[in-house]
């Protein structure tokens, strides 16, 4: 901005006066301005100490200059006695004629020099710009210079030499810059400033010496800078301040001495700064403030002493600070309340937070009636006098955080202007009924993290705009608690124990926009008076399972619900949220294709960039669904159906029917057909029993899907929290793991039988079978109970199963299950491989012809194949490979995982000859018992009855003898008492040696 005749700066006016006086007295010469030629005038200009520093000037500025003949008229009029010199050549030395050209224009024409003439005095590589019409601003910062430039124009008013490598200043390097007002030497390597370094700078107002290596305040260099108003010495290494270093700085108003190594207040040096208005001594190592430390600073308004090591204050240390308004004592080591502040009658802002103050005495601020703001949080305050904050009529803000021992609400009589009150982290259990009578102007009330149980009526606090009562012990909200708070806009009642809210509790809050009731015990919420809400939080209220109508909240923009299904009432369906769902993050399709596929409503032009596309998408999404509801429904939490896909629905129903019927048939034939059950038959029967539990869990899920068909959102929250969901999840995991464990035990039993029988001539029972079965059941139960003990992962989805893509805990659980099952399949594979290798070639055909060995091998192969998709799914979630669609995941969890439960019994029924024998035996027993019931009324001497009984007894004796001969070897090592023919193809014998 170019200054006009009416907007001249002080330096410009001084320049004009200086020219006028010297011109009228006939003493005007170029050397008087420090820009004369050698031999012209009475004095010779002192050469500069170095080259200039600053930003590179544009080409137009660097090439600016005056013609060679411009200095000739000036020399003739000034009567220069030297012989005529040739015109100055272009280059760094051309500034010698600048002062004469400019002076000639100022004196003869009474106007200002042209910009091109003024910029000719700009040092090389520096950036210059006019400061008004007569002065020049020079920026030589960040050029790596080691000394100040020597060719600076005398009309320089601003000089920036910061961020260079200047390590020392020669005597009087800038003495000719008598119009300089601001000098920046920050960010150099200055360690010492000699006397006279700033000599001649009579107009200097701002001096910046921060971020250097000074170890002490320059003793004599700063003296007599009578115009200096701002001095920055921060971020140095100053450890001492000489008593006379500030002598003569009568105009100094701002002093920075922060971030140094001072250990005490420079009391003597500060006595000469009577005009000082703001001072910072922060970030030093000061330990104590003595009495009358600032006695002569009667004009001081702002004093910063934070981040020191102050542990004690003199009782009169602040005497004399009659104008002080801001005092910062934060982040020190004060152990006691600073009672010395009572002498500061004009104090408006006081901060002493983050100290070690343990108590605030009674009437602590009796001498500070002008206080507006107090900050003293993060102190280990245990005791606060009830009258500590009385009679502070100007106090606007009171903040007390972390005072954990405060049990009573303070008495605030006479502090009627308080607008913001924060008392958090205390143990206040009740509020006085007159709290609003004392604070009629209160606008913000924060009493979070206390022990409040009952609330008084806040109806008198008509100006309240925000109330924060989270993390308390509140149980009930009564009708008059917030009655007629017409200005209330935000109410936070989260993390309490609220179970009851009066239906009219919010009926007189027309301005309420934000209501937070999260993490309470609500089972219902009143809607009267909440039609203006824009933000509503209800998450964490697990008893709140019913749907909330969107018609009661026409202005709502953001809502957080306990369950995703409750967002269905606000038009948030799972199809739209598929767009941004995490399962589609890894999709390789373009953003345009993704929108067309999932939403089918967005059209994107080919030439539109991605940013415009995303902006349009957000606008369209808001237009479709103006309410942002979370947690949003997704592929595992649908609004209408539990399963969603008919393929999954048919698969689950098929598995449930087959698992229940087939396993019931196998279990009945195994446990009811035989008088004695061998080890392998027992294991087959137990596998069928646990598979039947899997069928039960699938049948329950299918029933829930059928019962809630088309309206699952109304029952989804109830189902997730129901005990039935926990039971289904437990049975699902228990049955799955028990089946794998029992199958492993069956494979080991087959290997043990081959190892311990001498080519099937004698059988040795599997040792400790009952204990092993108990261990398997205990292990499976423990694995299934882990989600219940770790936060009920079964309730994470309505499928009642831990999801592989979800919380890290659920993912880890699924991966652990896969690793455990993989270990079991590895053990089974090794056992059968050893069984195969142990047989001789001649025995191989006979061995693999044995039905039970073949059946276990078939089960091993089938279950291992079906385990692969589950393992792939779990490790994909561990590696964060999200390219698998949700439908595939649900199909694997609901169809593939329980599929062995119906395949295992089908393999036994269709391919194992023992099933036919057991079924026939079961039929004979049923027929025998039926015949016995009918013939029991006949004579016991009947020959038919005797023959039939004899035959049945003989058959049973043969069956039992064969079993005993098979499973119990004789103690003497003699052949079995009831030898049997070794054959793997005898269909008339229930048990054969290779079993």
pLDDT per residue as tens digits for the range 516-545: 999 999 999 999 999 999 999 999 998 998
C-alpha to C-alpha distance for 541 and 500, rounded to whole angstroms: 12
Most confident of 421-425, 604-608, 916-920, 939-943: 421-425
- Find out whether the peptide bond into 631 is cis, omega within 30 degrees of 0: yes
Q: pLDDT class for 296, splitting at 50, 70, 90?
A: very high
Mean pLDDT of 776-781: 92
| Lowest-confidence segment of 300-304, 395-399, 443-447, 488-492 by average pLDDT | 395-399
Is pLDDT at 345 greater than 60 in this prediction? yes
Mean pLDDT (whole number) for 824-845: 74
CA–CA gap between residue 257 and residue 248 (Å, rounded): 18
Cα–Cα dist 299/321, whole Å = 7
The pLDDT > 90 percentage for the chain reads: 43
Closest CA to 892 of 710, 784, 736, 728: 736
C-alpha R_g of the chain: 47
Binning pLDDT at 50, 70 and 90, where does residue 803 land?
confident
Return the pLDDT at 752. Answer: 78
Closest listed residue to residue 741, CA positions, set 771, 769, 784, 775: 775
Band of pLDDT at residue 644, cut at 50, 70 and 90? confident
Q: Which two tokens stand for residue 27?
A: 């003493």
* Predicted pLDDT of residue 161: 95
Q: How high is the mean pLDDT of the chain? A: 77
- Core vs surface per residue 256-270: b (16+ CB within 10 A) or e: bbbbbebebbbbebb
**Phi-psi bin for 235: left (phi > 0), alpha (psi -120 to 50), beta?**
left
| Residue 24, burial from CB neighbour count under 10 angstroms (0-12, 13-18, 19+) | exposed
Phi and psi torsions of 203, nearest 5°: -100, 5
Region 104-116: what's the mean pLDDT?
Answer: 48
> How far apart are the C-alpha atoms of 548 and 558, rounded to whole Å?
14
Residue 61: pLDDT band (50, 70, 90) is very low
Q: Are 299 and 276 in contact (CB under 8 A)?
A: yes
The mean pLDDT value for 847-864 works out to: 78
Task: Please check the confidence at residue 349 and state whether its pLDDT lies above 90.
Answer: yes
Task: Report the sign of the C-alpha dihedral through residues 610, 611, 613, 617, in that order.
Answer: positive
Q: Is 931 helix (H, G, I), strand (E, B) or coil?
A: helix
- Note the pLDDT tens digit of each residue in 160-180: 999 999 998 888 888 889 899
Q: What is the mean pLDDT of residues 43-55?
A: 34
Calculate the CA dihedral of residues 314, 315, 320, 325 and round it to 10 degrees.
Answer: 90
Structure-model confidence comparison of residues 388 and 754, the more confident one: 388
CA 424 to chain centre: 23
* Per-residue model confidence (pLDDT) at position 44: 32
What's the confidence (pLDDT) of residue 950? 35
Q: What pLDDT score does 421 carry?
A: 93
Pick the closest to residue 563 from 683, 717, 347, 676 (CA basis): 717
Of the candidates 393, 426, 391, which has an alpha carbon nearest to the alpha carbon of residue 409? 426
pLDDT at 329: 97
How many CB atoms neighbour CB 335 within 10 A? 12
Contact 470, 495 (CB under 8 A): yes
What structural domains and CATH numbers belong to the chain?
Answer: 26-59+97-206 (3.80.10), 214-354 (3.80.10.10), 590-630 (no CATH), 646-915 (1.20.1070.10)
The position carrying tokens 């100290």 is: 355
Q: What is the pTM of this model?
A: 0.64
Structure tokens at 497: 């124990």
pLDDT tens track for 691-735? 999 999 999 999 999 998 888 888 888 888 888 898 999 999 999
The encoded tokens of residue 531 equal 């039609």
Higher pLDDT, 106 or 906: 906
Is 674 a residue whose pLDDT tops 60? Answer: no
pLDDT at 335 over 60: yes
pLDDT of residue 74: 34
Q: Average pLDDT of 199-203?
A: 91
Tell me: pLDDT of 63 over 80. Answer: no
More confident residue, 133 or 222: 222
């Amino acid at each position: 901005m170019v200054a006009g005749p009416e907007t001249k700066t002080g330096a410009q006016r001084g320049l004009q006066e200086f020219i006028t006086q010297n011109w009228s007295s006939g003493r005007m010469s170029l050397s008087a301005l420090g820009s004369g030629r050698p031999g012209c005038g009475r004095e010779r200009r002192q050469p500069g100490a170095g080259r200039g520093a600053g930003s590179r000037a544009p080409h137009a500025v660097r090439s600016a200059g005056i013609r060679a003949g411009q200095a000739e008229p000036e020399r003739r009029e000034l009567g220069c006695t030297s012989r005529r010199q040739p015109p100055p050549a272009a280059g760094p030395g051309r500034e010698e004629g600048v002062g004469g050209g400019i002076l000639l224009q100022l004196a003869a024409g009474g106007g200002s020099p042209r910009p091109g003439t003024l910029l000719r005095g700009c040092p090389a590589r520096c950036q210059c710009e006019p400061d008004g019409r007569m002065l020049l601003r020079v920026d030589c910062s960040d050029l790596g210079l080691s000394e100040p430039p020597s060719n600076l124009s005398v009309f320089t008013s601003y000089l920036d030499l910061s961020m260079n490598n200047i390590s020392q200043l020669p005597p009087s390097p800038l003495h000719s810059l008598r119009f300089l007002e601001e000098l920046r030497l920050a960010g150099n390597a200055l360690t010492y400033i000699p006397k006279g370094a700033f000599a001649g700078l009579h107009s200097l107002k701002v001096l910046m010496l921060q971020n250097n290596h000074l170890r002490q305040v320059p003793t004599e260099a700063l003296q007599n800078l009578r115009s200096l108003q701002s001095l920055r010495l921060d971020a140095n290494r100053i450890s001492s301040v000489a008593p006379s270093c500030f002598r003569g700085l009568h105009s100094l108003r701002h002093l920075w001495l922060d971030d140094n190594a001072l250990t005490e207040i420079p009391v003597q040096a500060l006595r000469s700064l009577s005009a000082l208005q703001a001072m910072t001594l922060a970030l030093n190592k000061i330990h104590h403030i003595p009495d009358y430390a600032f006695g002569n600073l009667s004009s001081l308004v702002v004093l910063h002493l934070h981040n020191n090591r102050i542990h004690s204050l003199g009782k009169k240390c602040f005497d004399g600070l009659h104008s002080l308004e801001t005092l910062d004592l934060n982040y020190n080591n004060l152990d006691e309340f600073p009672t010395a502040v009572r002498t500061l009658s004009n104090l408006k802002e006081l901060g002493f937070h983050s100290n070690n103050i343990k108590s605030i005495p009674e009437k602590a601020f009796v001498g500070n009636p002008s206080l507006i703001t107090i900050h003293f949080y993060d102190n280990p305050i245990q005791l606060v006098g009830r009258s500590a904050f009385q009679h502070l009529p100007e106090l606007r803000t009171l903040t007390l955080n972390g005072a954990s021992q405060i049990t009573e609400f303070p008495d605030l009589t006479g502090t009627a202007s308080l607008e913001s009150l924060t008392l958090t982290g205390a143990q206040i259990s009740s509020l006085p009924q007159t709290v609003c009578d004392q604070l009629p102007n209160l606008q913000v009330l924060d009493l979070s993290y206390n022990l409040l149980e009952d609330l008084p009526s806040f109806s008198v606090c008509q100006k309240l705009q925000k109330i924060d009562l989270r993390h308390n012990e509140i149980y009930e909200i009564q009708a008059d608690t917030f009655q007629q708070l017409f200005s209330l806009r935000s109410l936070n009642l989260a993390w309490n124990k609220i179970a009851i809210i009066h239906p009219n509790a919010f009926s007189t809050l027309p301005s309420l926009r934000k209501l937070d009731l999260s993490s309470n015990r609500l089972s219902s919420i009143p809607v009267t008076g909440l039609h203006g809400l824009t933000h509503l939080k209800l998450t964490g209220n697990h008893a709140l399972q019913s749907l909330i109508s969107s018609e009661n909240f026409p202005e709502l923009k953001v809502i957080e619900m306990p369950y995703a299904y409750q967002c269905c009432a606000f038009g948030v369906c799972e199809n739209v949220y598929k767009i941004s769902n995490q399962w589609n993050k890894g999709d390789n399709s373009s953003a345009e294709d993704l929108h067309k596929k999932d939403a089918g409503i967005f059209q994107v032009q080919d030439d539109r960039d991605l940013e415009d596309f995303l902006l349009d998408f957000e606008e369209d999404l808001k237009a479709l669904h103006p309410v942002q509801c979370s947690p949003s429904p997704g592929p595992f939490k649908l609004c209408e159906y539990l399963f969603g896909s008919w393929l999954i629905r048919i698969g689950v129903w098929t598995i449930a029917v087959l698992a229940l019927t087939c396993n019931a048939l196998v279990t009945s034939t195994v446990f009811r057909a035989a008088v004695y059950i061998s080890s392998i038959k027992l294991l087959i029967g137990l596998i069928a029993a646990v598979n039947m539990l899997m069928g039960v869990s699938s049948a329950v899920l299918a029933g829930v899907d059928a019962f809630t068909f088309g309206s699952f959102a109304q029952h989804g929250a109830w189902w997730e929290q129901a005990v039935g969901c926990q039971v289904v999840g437990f049975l699902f995991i228990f049955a799955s793991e028990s089946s794998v464990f029992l199958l492993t035990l069956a494979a080991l039993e087959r290997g043990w039988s081959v190892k311990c029988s001498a080519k099937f001539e004698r059988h040795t029972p599997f040792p400790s079978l009952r204990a092993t079965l108990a261990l398997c059941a205990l292990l499976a139960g423990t694995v299934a109970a882990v989600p219940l003990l770790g936060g009920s992962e079964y309730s994470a989805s309505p499928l009642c199963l831990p999801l592989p893509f979800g919380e890290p805990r659920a993912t880890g659980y699924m991966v652990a299950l896969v690793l455990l099952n993989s270990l079991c399949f590895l053990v089974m594979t090794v056992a059968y491989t050893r069984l195969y290798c142990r047989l001789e070639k001649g025995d191989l055909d006979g061995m693999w012809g044995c039905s039970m060995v073949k059946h276990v091998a078939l089960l091993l192969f089938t279950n291992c194949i079906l385990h692969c998709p589950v393992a792939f799914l779990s490790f994909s979630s561990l590696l964060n490979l999200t390219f698998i669609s949700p439908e595939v995941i649900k199909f694997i969890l609901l169809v593939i995982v329980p599929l062995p439960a119906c395949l295992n019994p089908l393999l036994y029924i269709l391919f194992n000859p023992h099933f036919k024998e057991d079924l026939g035996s079961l039929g004979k027993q049923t027929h025998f018992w039926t015949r016995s019931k009918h013939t029991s009324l006949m004579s016991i001497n009947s020959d038919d009855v005797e023959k039939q009984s004899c035959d049945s007894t003989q058959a049973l004796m043969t069956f039992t003898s064969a079993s005993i001969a098979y499973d119990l070897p004789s103690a003497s090592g003699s052949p079995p008492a009831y030898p049997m023919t070794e054959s793997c193809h005898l269909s008339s014998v229930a048990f054969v040696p290779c079993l």
